[in-house]
């Protein structure tokens, strides 16, 4: 949810915050119908982009700040990086807002998405409660690969794993990042797009969207695996079948799994139409 600015001095704190991450400021008016649409849009985006700051400034309450940024119509959104505005979107155009967030979230070195230029870390979009892992150890389950620390996901009765990962919106997947203890790290990995129903038998016999042969050098260099991008343009879920591991062990382990790419815009057309003209002042 976007934070409503209560005092003018708070805006200086917002600019300081933008030195570390992207900050989105919605200049709005309480009597502006498109502003209500933007408010709903930002509330949803705030849940998807945990690393972005979202704020609201009432233009009538803070005319000096509004004048400083030449706000002539509401809603107008400014995107701040390192204390300065790096972008602007007018009206309730969700598609333009998402595009600006994706663009400016990747502007800083801190948001380099594992060194892949022009793409973001989309792991934040994983629906953990709707994702599952087949043949996981009860003591070392899948949730460990999405948390910081030394914990790992481990297989149980043999070396094979099937991971079903659900996302809260469609994505364009550019790369995956696999990190694991070398001696138990996945070797042969088959990826399936939008196949949450697939099990071990089907995974072994079916043609994958892409099959990967991981090596020790790949893990030592960071575990980034670039995918055949054209095959991963509308991914609602991704299933990974791990057939074996580098050490030939009965237990496979994964310490981190991350996803790099861009979110697919799913803008509500009625939202866009309501906000095309904005509200003049």
pLDDT of residue 281: 59
Assigned CATH topology for domain 3-111: Glutaredoxin (3.40.30)
Give the pairing of strands 161-179 and 120-121: unpaired
Name the residue ranges covered by the structural domains of the chain. 3-111, 120-263
Q: Are 25 and 16 a contacting pair, CB within 8 Å?
A: no
Which CATH superfamily does the domain covering 120-263 fall into?
PITH domain (2.60.120.470)
Alpha carbons 239 and 242: distance in angstroms, whole number? 10
pLDDT of residue 268: 40
pLDDT of residue 121: 85
pLDDT of residue 274: 41
Where on the phi/psi map is residue 194: left (φ > 0), alpha (ψ -120 to 50), or beta? left
Neighbours of 197 (CB within 10 A): 10
Alpha carbons 169 and 281: distance in angstroms, whole number? 35
Alpha carbons 44 and 96: distance in angstroms, whole number? 15
pLDDT of residue 105: 74
**Structure tokens, 250:** 């009965």
Mean pLDDT, 10 residues at a time, the chain of 281 residues: 89 87 94 95 86 93 91 94 90 91 65 69 90 98 90 97 95 95 97 97 97 97 94 96 97 96 59 46 59
Q: Are 193 and 258 a contacting pair, CB within 8 Å?
A: no
pTM: 0.62
Name the burial class of residue 91, with classes exposed (0-12), middle (13-18) and buried (19+) by CB atoms within 10 angstroms of its CB.
Answer: buried
Alpha carbons 240 and 125: distance in angstroms, whole number? 17
Query: Angle between the 33-48 and 94-105 helix axes, to the nearest 10 degrees?
Result: 40
Catalytic residues: 32, 35
């Amino acid at each position: 949810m976007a934070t409503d600015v209560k005092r003018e001095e708070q805006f200086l704190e917002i600019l300081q915050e933008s030195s570390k991450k992207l900050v989105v400021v919605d200049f709005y008016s309480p009597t502006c119908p498109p502003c209500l649409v933007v408010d709903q849009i930002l509330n949803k985006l705030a849940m998807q982009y945990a690393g972005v700051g979202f704020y609201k400034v009432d233009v009538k309450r803070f005319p000096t700040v509004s004048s400083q940024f030449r706000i002539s119509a509401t809603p107008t959104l400014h995107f701040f990086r390192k204390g300065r505005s790096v972008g602007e979107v007018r009206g309730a155009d969700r598609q333009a807002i998402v595009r600006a967030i994706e663009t400016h979230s990747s502007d800083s070195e801190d948001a380099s998405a594992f060194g892949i230029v022009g793409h973001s870390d989309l792991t934040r979009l994983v629906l953990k409660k709707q994702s599952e892992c087949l043949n996981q150890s009860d003591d070392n389950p899948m949730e460990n690969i999405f948390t910081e620390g030394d914990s790992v996901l481990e297989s149980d009765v043999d070396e094979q794993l099937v991971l079903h990962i659900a996302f809260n919106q469609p994505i364009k997947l550019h790369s995956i990042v696999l990190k694991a203890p070398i001696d138990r790290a996945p070797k042969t990995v088959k990826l399936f797009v939008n196949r949450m129903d697939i099990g071990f038998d089907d995974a072994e016999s079916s043609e994958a969207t892409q099959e990967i042969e991981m090596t020790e050098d790949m893990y030592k260099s960071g575990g980034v695996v670039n995918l055949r991008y054209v095959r991963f343009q509308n991914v609602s879920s991704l299933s990974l079948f791990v057939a074996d591991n580098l050490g030939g062990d009965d237990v496979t382990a994964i310490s981190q799994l991350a996803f790099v790419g861009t979110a697919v815009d799913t803008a509500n057309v009625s939202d866009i139409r309501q906000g095309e003209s904005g509200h003049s002042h």
